[in-house]
Every structure is written in structure tokens, then in C-alpha cells.
A = this chain, B = another copy of it.
Amino acid sequence: MTSTSSRPDPGLHDLFARFSACGATQTGGVHRLCGSAADGLARDLFAATVAETGGTLRTDAVGNQFGLFSLAGRSDAPRVMLGSHLDSQPQGGRFDGTLGVATALRVGAALVGAKARGRAYDADLCVVNWTNEEGARFRPGLLGSGTYAGHHRAEDALASQDDAGVTLERALAAIGHRGTDTAPPLPACYLELHVEQGSVLTGGGATIGIVMRNWGATKIDAVFTGAQAHTGPCPMPLRRDALLAAAYAIAEVRAIADRWPGQVHTSVGRIRVEPNSANVVPSRVEISVEIRSGADPILAEAGALADGALKAAAGRARTNLSVLGRVERPVRALPGAVADLLALAAEETGYRAMPMDTVAGHDALSLLGACPTGLVFVPSIGGIAHDVAEETSDADMQAGLAVMLRSADRLCRAGGSPERAIREAAR
């Protein structure tokens, strides 16, 4: 039916192994923070692979890398975009983001090959590596895709600082990946493959997850300000201990999740303490709070409880509270037509698919609403994520590639329109 093959592609494993070597840890994971030397190596490999495959590279002001593959043979052709991110969490896994980028690059190679063999396309392909998806070194996360989709101004994104005060702009410049190219316009359709980072697929006996909606998330960066004092002589009633305030808040944020078992996830993963010396009452403590839920009304209630918990914690420890940032991401549905096309591709390639939610944020959610957007999951062994032990089987990697290739091929033949692709598939 199509001239693109669904046989296993050994090139995927080769390319993935080369990305995994960039910032590899001795424990089998990767430590590839956005804008680090290791990130620079992965970006160099992305650029080289685009060039080898006959594509053209563009790097925009915030370091997003776009590999453009001409398939339609005309300058005004619409574009289908596929991609994800190459940055990792500290001591993170090899698959998170990178599998989506490597898969998109292999799709690019396959479509370029099919075109060379005479297959006709009515859209071009763009493969993308988004900057700072993780939000580990620079905040907020989804920074590159969010800037591309118009949620942030490029100058604000570039001014984001890591904990050492280095800006994203300086970090990108230091590794030679602060671009000056204009980003390509919004695509006709955006597709992303990602590892699930949970255990729903395995539990459901499926290989392919088709994301129908995302959980909402409220992310709060809060600062408690107390007063530096000697931990010895300073009388307890006079202390204004910012770390104590943070401790009260962290415990209370956890308790919020227990009010809605299975429906609300909460966390504080990051803390920054000043002056952070054993003999000094901490004067300033910053924490990053996350609250997630699949139901907006619950998320709103849980978020209000978190606001109250932060205030109560500040008061109890005699500190001041200020909120540096608050990001709310509502529960949203992904477009049905894209999901239908992905389900069709799974069926055609012989993989069992199931509809599901994403609890985690992904670059696809940045583009949701800006263009038709699809998100595909493949299984994470044991549900392990954001850890060096993160793993996806070779067979599942190939399954993901097969579904993405079939979907992209159909979309590029149909001018990037998922509806037209489904109609043409029915013929």
C-alpha cells in the first residue's frame, strides 16, 4: 500500500546509541542538561544527521533546531513536523525525548528515500529538537516549544537563569547553538513520539499509547524569606527559619495528594537554600511545587489548598512568602482526527494501541491549539522515568518508529491534513 517499509530499521538503534553516548553516565543513563557541553554534542549529532540525510538545518534564536526535508518539490508546500527534545534531567534516562528525536530523524531518512524511489508527497517534513523541555536547568520547562508556539517571548526565554546565574542565552552561545535563523512557520500537523514514563500501557497489554488528553498541572515557584541567625544562641521564638517554612509546606503539599487518591499527584522536587550552612538559620528558601490532576475542578481545589498551605507554612515559621512564578496548564483534549490517524497507523502496522492520558508535560502540549497535534507513547519498562534505569525494549522502539513512519507518510501525501489522510486511507 505504501512504499515505506515497516521492517525493523537498524539505523534507529545505531542513531539512538550515538545520542546515548552524549553525556552518558557510568550508570547507563545520560546527564545532558540544556545548554551543557553534552547537550552541545547531541545537537552537533542532530545537525550532522540532518545534513547526511539531505535536509537543511535552521536554528532559531532560542536554540530550537529544525531539520527541513523537501518532499513536495514546491516552495509553498505545507509542512508536517515531528520531533521532541534532546536535553535530559540530571542523571536522567536515555529515552526521554531522545527516542522521539531519533525516531523523527529516521522517519525523515525513510521519506527522503521513498521520494527518491518516486513516491509523491504533497507536504514537506520538518524534524525538530526543542530547547529545554525538561525545565531542569532553566525554568520553565517546554521553553523552546513554548516560545515557538508564542507562549513566551524569545528574549524572556533567553534571559532565564540557571541556579548559578548563567542565562540560557549565554549557555547556548557557549556551545555554539544560539541560532539566528527564522523558525519555520507553524506546521499543518505536529506529531511526537515519547516514552510513556508510566505503566498504563503494560497494564493494558498495548504497545502504542495514543494520547487523548493531558492532565492539568499547576506549578508554583515560591520563596520563603526569614532572617539569617546563629543556630546556637538565637532564642527559638525569635527565629525566622525559611527552611522550616519550606519543610511545613513540603509536608502539606504531599498531604493534598492524599485527599484525592490516584486523582492528584503533588511534588516538591527542587529546593534552593541560602546560606545553607549547618550553623546558620536559613534566610531564603525557594521551592518548586507541582500539582497535577486529570480533572480541572479538582486541580483548582488542590491548587487553592497549596496556596493556603504555602501561606500557613510561612506564617507558622514567621517568614514572608512570595510567589516567583505560577504556571497553570488546564486539562485539554488532543484533536480527534490526529488520534484517528495514529490509531489507523497502529492497526495497519499490526500493533495494539490504546487511548490514554498524559500526566507529564510534553512539547506536543505547547503546540496544542496552535496546530493539529498528536502524541504517541511506547512502553517504559517498569514505568521508570527521570532516572538512569529508564528503559524501552528494542521491539517497542521499532513499533513506535513504524507507527510514526506510517502516520507521517500518510500526512505528507495528504498535504499535512489528518482529515484528508484518513479519507485517502479509506479509498
On whether the beta carbons of B257 and A197 are closer than 8 Å, the reply is no
Give the complex CA separation of A137 and B22 in angstroms.
Answer: 32
Asked if residues B250 and A236 are in contact (CB atoms below 8 Å), the reply is no
CA distance A275 to B89 in the complex (A): 8
When distances are taken between beta carbons in the complex, the residues of chain B under 8 Å from A386 are 228-231, 277, 279-281
CA distance A93 to B168 in the complex (A): 34
A267 partner, pick from B241, B249, B268, B361, beta carbons under 8 A = B241
Docked complex Cα distance between A352 and B228 (Å)? 30
In the bound complex, residues from chain B placing their C-beta under 8 Å from that of A89 are 275, 277, 279-280
Name, among A219, A265, A290, the residue most crowded by chain B CB atoms within 10 Å (CB to CB).
A265
Category for how many chain A residues contact B: 35 or more
What is the CB-to-nearest-CB distance from A196 to chain B, in angstroms, rounded to a whole number?
A: 7
Q: Report the bound CA distance from A162 to B165 in whole Å.
A: 20
Q: Is the CB of A139 within 8 A of B278?
A: yes
Q: Are B288 and A219 in contact (CB under 8 A)?
A: no
* Cβ–Cβ < 8 Å partners of A278 in chain B: 135-136, 139, 141, 219, 269-270, 288, 290
A387 in contact with B227 given A141-B278, A197-B233, A269-B279 (CB within 8 Å) = yes
Interface presence of A262 (CB below 8 A): yes
Contact indicator per residue, chain A 214-232, by CB within 8 Å of chain B (1) or not (0):
0101010000000111111
Q: Are A269 and B265 in contact (CB under 8 A)?
A: no
Task: Give A279 to B290 CA distance when docked, in angstroms.
Answer: 8
- Asked whether, in the complex, the Cβ of B233 is within 8 Å of the Cβ of A385, the reply is yes
Within 8 A of B (CB), among A256-303: 257-258, 261-262, 265-283, 288, 290, 292
Which B residues touch A243, using CB under 8 A? 250, 268-269, 271
Q: Tell me whether A90 is interfacial, beta carbon within 8 Å.
A: yes
| Residues of B close to A257: CB separation below 8 A | 236
Residues of chain A touching chain B, judged by Cβ–Cβ distance below 8 Å, are 89-92, 134-136, 139, 141, 196-198, 215, 217, 219, 227-236, 238-239, 241, 243-244, 246-251, 254, 257-258, 261-262, 265-283, 288, 290, 292, 358-361, 383-388
